[in-house]
Amino acid sequence: MPSAGTPRRSRHRFGKRMFTGWAVLVYLVLYLPIVVVVIFAFNQPTSVPQGASPCSVDPSRMGNVTVWNGGTTCWFHTALNDPTYVPAVKTSFWIAFRASLIATVLGTAAALSLARMKKRWRVPFDVLVYLTLVVPEIVIAVASLIFFVQAHNNLSIFPTLGESTILLGQIVFSASLVMLIVRARFVGMGSSLEEASFDLGGGPIATFRQVTLPRLLPAVIAGALLSFTFSFDDYVLPAFTNGTVNTWPIVVYSAVRFGVTPAVNALATVMLVVTVTLILITGLVLRRSGASDLTGAPPPTIP
């Protein structure tokens, strides 16, 4: 039967195309909004007075900036010279950097010790860790605010509301996040490699440095990146605990109230370009060092 396979094969090919189409659709839904943000960074106000720069228009007279009115690049200049925008981004970046660094160290250490702990001790800690992730952020934010104010009132060395309190609040959440990610990989890794290292004369520190950490690195980096992202665009917690400090999300939210200009889009575009570049560089470095498998599965054995 020479023709028997043909209809089945063509149906198979059709199915494959459907899957590809679906994947393309999913990616469109995910990334189209970002593309729109970038495009509208070059948008003009609805009406620009004769002879004036499109970006000198008062935000309240901007008109409908969600409609394309023609292109300009002046928003990038405006955004980078705005008295609040760039400092706010710098503050957010600096907080996120420290938060992710500290949370990664704490979370990794917690993951290693919890994974080896007796169940009787591990379970209560686990519950606490999950609590910080499931309790709504607004609840944690209110609780943090009360705690920080009371703590400062009763203990003068405790910092006033500001960068430090934003940092403290975010570390609690991020450390839990890092711990979950790192522990999953650590448990999946098993203890045989560490035993092999001990067997070959590697002490606890040498083993951690040469065997455990390199094997955990993908999870540690993933945890650090996630904490950074969480911290950078977090609004709720800083809105309660910021004192007088303005983070980037806080500035954007308040800008929305007075009418948002494409300058926000322009700054977002700059940040997007920087972030994507950083991720690409990280990926390249990781591939070079051979730690790019984020799955945590043991390497396949060729029979």
Which chain residues interact with other proteins by CB under 8 A? 192-193, 195-203, 206, 210-211, 214-215, 290-291, 298-303
CB 135 within 8 A of CB 209: no
- Closer residue to other proteins (CB): 59 or 204: 204
Shortest Å, Cβ 301 to other proteins: 6
Instruction: Look at residues 155, 302, 279 and name the one whose alpha carbon lies nearest to residue 228.
Output: 279
The rounded distance, in Å, linking the Cα atoms of 261 and 69 is: 13
- Closer residue to other proteins (CB): 91 or 212: 212
Shortest Å, Cβ 106 to other proteins: 25
| Residue recorded with tokens 């469109």 | 28
The rounded distance, in Å, linking the Cα atoms of 113 and 193 is: 17
Shortest Å, Cβ 221 to other proteins: 14
Residues 6+ apart with CB under 8 A from 79: 85, 86, 263, 264, 266, 267, 270
Shortest Å, Cβ 303 to other proteins: 6
Shortest Å, Cβ 186 to other proteins: 15
Distance from chain centroid for Cα 121: 31
- Closer residue to other proteins (CB): 59 or 190: 190
| Residue recorded with tokens 């060395």 | 157
The rounded distance, in Å, linking the Cα atoms of 145 and 170 is: 13
Through-space distance between the first and last CA atoms of the chain, rounded to whole angstroms: 37
Distance (Å) of CA 16 to CA 9, 12, 13, 21: 11, 6, 5, 9
- Closer residue to other proteins (CB): 217 or 251: 217
- Closer residue to other proteins (CB): 80 or 115: 115
Shortest Å, Cβ 284 to other proteins: 18
Encoded tokens for 60: 């309240």
Residue 127 belongs to what H/E stretch? helix 119-134
Q: Computed from CA positions of residues 261, 266, 269, 275, in that sequence, does the dihedral angle turn out positive or negative?
A: negative
Return the number of other C-beta atoms located less than 10 Å from residue 62's C-beta: 18
- Closer residue to other proteins (CB): 23 or 200: 200
- Closer residue to other proteins (CB): 3 or 301: 301
Shortest Å, Cβ 117 to other proteins: 17
